[in-house]
Structure 1
């Protein structure tokens, strides 16, 4: 039996009551998002949340209660309202769904155009770096790296950039696990002093520790939690990378790394 008011194949036009219900649902959703934004911006008191969102005290309390039930908001006795673990989980999930290479590639291509050098994107894998992308140089230079290939963290520019947030104990432990060829070039104390300098400046160099003829300038890429998750670099042979040019490239590489970090949700403080 077919409902005479809604025959099969006919468009269903919402009634005034249905329109009102949908409008109220949309308003409630938007108000909930306004509250989440307010809490994310450090507003932790119910009265203040109601004030900045333009809601009545009772409406704000009702929506906050619903958000707490779904763990989007939590309330700490001494600290007021805070973002809940459900939002944290969604944030990690959204982060995981971002294709880093796809996001970064246009910026890497532009960096390669600006510098005419080989540009890399890499991420850590235990004591190694894995190359995710490589934009080849326009110069007659060949860098012995490949997408999917590995190089040591301790001797490459990208690798050192990935280590900048680690402790000195972690740096030295990595050095002690490293092959003897680096130790012949750079002793333990010198390497530690070098890493301290790089950590202060937010960049890293490869001064021939990996390949004697190659020089590299690298900078870390951070995610929305401010964690270093990858690094970008510019590399060439020593003839194209005198010390003065390497120093000039620091700001250029850092700018590209920051743009990629910002796209990943990073906000500089």
Structure 2
């Protein structure tokens, strides 16, 4: 790794700290420094100012991070994130089991709502059910873990499609109808999907199973891409329009909490795609 070999004075304040305190401070400062360079290359003077440290301390800390691959140094541009973070990011993503990560949030949601909570993801052009937590009400919902259901008639499926454009929706809608999905009026379905895309959640209004309604919202990964969806499902008698509207924010909030657990940040948005 290229080090910054520019001269920097020593910092007498560091010499006064004991080894344990100094070690903890160094770790925290190192993590803070990674946050400061997240937006791109930054020169030593600006990095020092952002950190609130002397140039010498900033210089020494940055070189330690360079040695471990967490930063790189470009002579003309300054410091930027290093290859070790890319490696760790891929490893963390590969080790993330979305079912295990999502389950505590799903259990909390099921307890609060007393209704059945599902987790699912795309499997080709179907919604694959990965997990299910039954509700406390005496409501029989036929879904099972491992089931694959049409995207266009399930709340989970529609939530998984929210980021798509209308050409994608058209293709999947026509395919689902040809494959025997519950019959749906195209114009009504598209009008609802446009509303779901704006709102950030989707409904199943007894479209997939008689007398069963649900509210669903997408789960995103660190890049902002939709990788799963969760839903709350119950009998229509417990899911009138008013309650579905009330549940919408709760389901969205839980989906966002799971997304955060996967590394997503509200500041990260997927590339904007035309709806047409």
Q: Is the 8 A contact 1:43 1:49 kept in 2?
A: no
What's 2:87 paired with?
A: 89
In the alignment, which of 112, 120, 123 is matched to residue 122 of structure 1? 120
Aligned-partner Cα distance in 2 for 1:233–1:99:
18
- SS of equivalent to 1:184: coil
Alignment correspondent of 1:5: none
Partner residue, 1:139 = 137
Q: Secondary structure at the match of 2:264?
A: coil
Where does residue 246 of structure 1 map in the other structure? 244
- Which residue is equivalent to 1:186? 185
Superposed displacement of residue 234, structure 1? 0.6
Between 109-118 and 48-57, report the one with greater CA deviation.
Answer: 48-57
* Deviations 1:188-210, CA, capped at 9 Å, x for gaps: x3322221110100000111222
DSSP-derived class of the 2:162 partner: coil
Q: Tell me the residue number matched to 1:265.
A: 263
**Pair 1:29–1:214, CA change in 2 (3 A):** closer
Q: Is the 8 A contact 2:155 2:214 kept in 1?
A: yes
Change (3 A) 1:23 1:244: closer
81 and 172 in structure 1: CA distance in 2 versus 1, 3 angstrom threshold:
farther
Q: What is the rounded CA distance, in whole Å, between the counterparts of 1:222 and 1:57 in structure 2?
A: 39
Q: Which moved more, 1:77-86 or 1:145-154?
A: 77-86
Q: CA deviation at 1:103?
A: 2.4
- Paired with 2:144 and 2:76, the residues of 1 have a C-alpha distance of 53
CA distance in 1, matches of 2:142, 2:27: 53
Deviates more, 1:23-32 or 1:161-170: 23-32
Q: 2:210 aligns with which of 209, 212, 231?
A: 212
Q: How does 1:27-42 map to 2 (within 5 A)?
A: 32-40=30-38
Q: Report deviation, 1:23.
A: 10
- Report the aligned-residue RMSD: 3.1
Counterparts of 1:87 and 1:69 in 2: how far apart (Å)? Answer: 13
SS in 2 for 1:40: coil
Q: Map 1:215-226 to 2 at 5 A.
A: 215-226=213-224
Deviates more, 1:62-71 or 1:213-222: 62-71
CA distance 1:93–1:142, change in 2 (3 Å): same
- Whether 2:93 is the aligned partner of 1:105: answer no
Whether the 8 Å contact between 2:177 and 2:183 is mirrored in structure 1 is no
Deviation at 1:225, TM superposition (A): 1.9
Q: TM-score, normalised by structure 1?
A: 0.78
Q: CA deviation at 1:81?
A: 4.1
Change (3 A) 1:209 1:46: same
- TM-score w.r.t. length of structure 2: 0.76
- Structure 1 unaligned runs (5+)? 1-19
Structure 2: tracts of 5 or more residues without a match? 1-17, 268-276
SS at match of 2:243: helix
In 2, the alpha carbon distance for the partners of 1:130 and 1:254 equals 20
CA radius of gyration, larger in: 1
